[in-house]
Amino acid sequence: MSPEDRIISLNLELPAPPPPGGIYTPLVYQESLIYVSGHGPNLVDGTQICGKVGGDLTMEEGYQAARQVGLTMLATLQAQLGSLNRIKRAIKVLGMVNATPEFGEHPQVINGFSQLLLDVFGENNGRAARSAVGMGSLPGNIAVEVEAIFELHEG
């Protein structure tokens, strides 16, 4: 099953791709690799999931925020590439969690993003190398930000 078919079968709703929030481009191509700028947890209604995990948000709410970042990133990829079917596999993910100093479950939060990649691209193509780190703050107080690298199919 293709990534586009999985999106439909999982009843996933992608938000509108966000406009750049600064002087950068959403994607940079380098041969068969796509470097995706950091994305936040944009909801379909245009709002974002905000707050500190471990304070304002629970670990599970952080997980859901990370999953929402994945949906936001997929929306950008789909808009920029024309189809998610052009993506061969996920290569690298950097997940940043807006967390309280005491919070230590950053990898479990970013699992929300990683699980979405597995759901959409499959076990072999959705599993990426990954880092998950805590941050003292993120832009606009968003709960999670993720940047990623993907490989495109040849041609």
Tell me if 93 sits within 8 A of 46, measured CB to CB: no
Domain ranges of the chain: 3-152
pTM for this predicted structure: 0.96
23-32 pLDDT, tens digit per residue, is 999 999 999 9
42-78 pLDDT, tens digit per residue, is 999 999 999 999 999 999 999 999 999 999 999 999 9
Per-residue pLDDT at 155 exceeds 70: no
105-150 pLDDT, tens digit per residue, is 999 999 999 999 999 999 999 999 999 999 999 999 999 999 999 9
- 124's tokens: 């072999």
For 3-152, the fitting CATH number among 3.10.20.340, 3.40.50.720, 3.30.1330.40, 3.30.43.10 is 3.30.1330.40
